[in-house]
Amino acid sequence: MIPRGFEYHAPRSLPDAIALLEQYGDEAKLLAGGHSLLPMMKMRFAEPAHLVDLGRVSGLKGIREVGDAIHLGAMTTENELIWSAIVQQKCPLLVEGARLIGDPQVRYKGTIGGDISHGDPANDHPALMLALGASFVLKGSGGERVVAADGFFLGTYSTALKPGEILTEIRIPVPAAGTGWCYAKLKRKTGDFATAAAAVLLRMKGETVQEVSIGLTNAGATALKARQAEDSLRGKTLNDAAIAEAARLAMSICEPAADQRGDVEYKTAMTGEMTHRALRMARSRATATA
Amino acid sequence: MAKKQTVSFKLNGKEVDVVVEPRELLIHTLRERLQHTGPHIGCETSHCGACTVDLDGMSVKSCTVLTVQCQDAEMLTIEGFEQGGALHALQEGFTQEHGLQCGYCTPGMITRAYRLLKENPSPSEEEIRYWMAGNLCRCTGYQNIVKAVQYAAKKMSATSS
């Protein structure tokens, strides 16, 4: 399997990459880690005439703590996330999620920015970003803008990125100390996409839920934020009945595509189960404030 | 058709130059232009790991890397493991522990295990299984592959201390 012919560009700077995108418009595709795009090109699902490789663009990598946030360069790889002391300490949800992506070789190449920009609801970072309340820095020739993850994902392979824009940085507010977390993912085997998965951040005050956020993977045309489920939990005692009700509400917004991983009913049920498991695990990891 | 490009990189310590179309995959350059047929083509879809090579300190599936991405890279394939007629500790481990049957996955397994042991010189069995999960073997059931990696880890740590 060999991709259709294309011209390869390896710009060294972000302005050069943006200029290439502007010059070639619809005919150009950005190459990050290449572990979604190159397989699609090999299958001829994607046939860009111009490939703009971000691999040599300076300034797109790195993990920094900036005030109460973690800033991740878009070309930071999954293994770099997993091995980062900052991410391990401040944002273990992201480590747990990244460890469940692809396989070791895929994680050396696959990038968080590529995973997000691709707009595939089966990718894991979109739901993680929704749960974490992340925002994205998008740069184009007209300057930069910062958009929230909630609202960025518009449809399958469709995001708020405008033609000529590049996602350069992911900004994640550091969850407060004591916040519980879990990414529960059901997959058939290593390297598979999720049959269903749920990302949860949970802040407890005594026995009641102070704050909770829930993101769902591969349960619709985009990653989903389970707002009704979140609303049902805030201020409530987090007992089994409350968790079951939240899982039911999460299932009520699911519209998964049937495929070899299961039919709609099964995938919806599994999304409920993953929500259930993620909430219970997050509860066990949370330290309640008085 | 897009213009061919010259790409230079270091392969098992030697400088090489190749002239390729941008769409050429690294596995084809290695096997067909450079006669390095150790990295195998298994699935061609970045699942099986038979084509694994070490590229700038990363284990990568060379069926999912373009050769043009490798300008100035340092690459190691199974052909670079034996030194002066002596097997690498991993090659010895796979022999001693019967870590292969048909051998198709072995170059990828050894190349992947090489990077794993660089990053984690004494991995637990669980860590070996997790960090080797990108390489499929249809013969062994993995038991002896784990043992082979453990054998090499032990031997390498004994030699380095």
CATH code of B94's domain: 1.10.150.120
Residue B25 confidence (pLDDT) = 98
pLDDT bracket for residue B159 (50, 70, 90): confident
Q: Are residues A69 and A106 in the same domain?
A: yes
d(CA B81, CA B93): 13
| Domain end among B30, B58, B80 | B80
Same domain, B75 and B44: yes
Q: What is the pLDDT of residue B123?
A: 98
Contacts of A103 in chain B (CB under 8 A): 49, 133-134
How far apart (Å, rounded) are the C-alpha atoms in residues B108 and B110? 6
Cβ distance A256 to A220 under 8 Å? yes
Whether residue B133 and residue A190 make contact (CB cut-off 8 A), yes or no, is: yes
* Number of domains into which chain A is organized: 3
Kindly tell me the burial class for residue B57, based on how many C-beta atoms sit within 10 Å of its own C-beta (0-12, 13-18, 19 or more). exposed
Place of tokens 């599936």: B61
* Alpha carbon distance B71, A166 (integer Å): 23
A33 and A70 in a single domain? The answer is: no
- Do B9 and B76 have their domain in common? yes
Q: Is B31 on the interface with A (CB under 8 A)?
A: no
pLDDT for B106 equals 98
Q: Do B23 and A103 touch (CB under 8 A)?
A: no
Check which CATH number belongs to the domain holding A235 and give it: 3.30.390.50
Judge if B105 and B139 occupy the same domain.
yes
Contacts 24+ apart (CB under 8 A), A157-165: A157/A118, A157/A119, A157/A120, A158/A119, A159/A116, A159/A117, A159/A119, A161/A117, A162/A138, A163/A21, A163/A25, A163/A26, A164/A18, A164/A21, A164/A22, A164/A25, A164/A140, A165/A18, A165/A21, A165/A138, A165/A139, A165/A140
The label of the residue with tokens 């000529």 reads: A164
**Same structural domain, B95 and B136:** yes
Q: Are residues B49 and B99 in the same domain?
A: no
DSSP 8-class letter at A156: T
pLDDT of residue B161: 58
The answer to whether the Cβ–Cβ distance between B64 and A39 falls below 8 Å is yes
Tens digit of each residue's pLDDT (9 = 90 or more) over A9-19: 999 999 999 99
Residue range A57-71, pLDDT digits in tens: 999 999 999 999 999
Partner-chain residue, chosen from A5, A39, A105, that has the shortest CB–CB distance to B23: A5
Question: Does residue A197 sit in the same domain as residue A168?
Answer: no
In a domain, A240, yes or no: yes
Let me know the angle formed at the C-alpha of A81 by B11 and B58, rounded to the nearest 5 degrees: 10
Residues B22 and B60 in one domain: yes
Residues of B within 8 A of A38 (CB-CB) are 46, 64-66
A147: in domain: yes
- Interval A49-53 mean pLDDT: 98
At A166-175, the pLDDT tens digits run 999 999 999 9
Do A209 and A161 sit in the same domain of this protein? no
The answer to whether the Cβ–Cβ distance between A6 and B64 falls below 8 Å is no
Residue A57 lies in a domain: no
Cβ-Cβ contacts under 8 Å, A190 against chain B: 133-134
Could you report the per-residue pLDDT of A172-205, keeping only the tens digit for each?
999 999 999 999 999 999 999 999 999 999 999 9
Quote the minimal CA–CA distance from A231 to chain B in Å: 37
Considering the domain architecture, whether residues B11 and B76 belong to the same structural domain is answered as: yes
B46, B105, B112, B118: best mutation site toward chain A, by most A Cβ within 10 Å?
B46
Last residue of a domain, one of B80, B99, B130: B80
Residue B1 predicted with pLDDT over 70: no
Name the domain count of chain B: 2
Structural domain includes residue A146: yes
3-class state of residue A144 by DSSP:
strand
Q: What pLDDT sits at residue A1?
A: 87
Q: Would A139 be classed as within a structural domain?
A: yes
| Domain presence at residue A35 | yes
Residues of the domain holding B109:
89-160
Range of the domain at A19: 7-52
pLDDT, position B160: 74
Nearest to A8 among B49, B68, B131 (CB): B68
Partnered with residue A181 across adjacent β-strands are: A201
ipTM metric: 0.96
B52 touches chain A (CB under 8 A): yes
Smallest CA–CA distance, residue B93 to chain A, in Å, is: 21
Last residue of some domain: A138, A173, A208?
A: A173
**pLDDT, position B2:** 73
pLDDT per residue over B69-99, tens digit each? 999 999 999 999 999 999 999 999 999 999 9
Mean local confidence (pLDDT), B47-64: 98
CATH number reported for the structural domain that contains residue B23 in this entry:
3.10.20.30
Same domain, A166 and A67: yes
Q: Which residues contact A85 (CB under 8 A, 6 or more apart)?
A: none
Asked whether residue A67 is assigned to any structural domain, the reply reads yes
Q: What percent of chain A has pLDDT over 90?
A: 98
B102 and B139 part of one domain: yes
Where does a domain end: B80, B98, B132? B80
Q: Is A289's pLDDT higher than 90? A: no
**CATH number, domain at A104?**
3.30.465.10
Which pTM does this prediction carry? 0.96
- Summarize pLDDT for B102-156 with one digit per residue, the tens: 999 999 999 999 999 999 999 999 999 999 999 999 999 999 999 999 999 999 9
Query: Could you tell me if A117 and A33 lie in one domain?
Result: no
Q: How far apart are the first and last CA of chain A?
A: 59
At residue A288, the pLDDT reads 78
Interchain contact, B134 vs A53, CB within 8 Å: no
Residue A192: inside a domain: yes
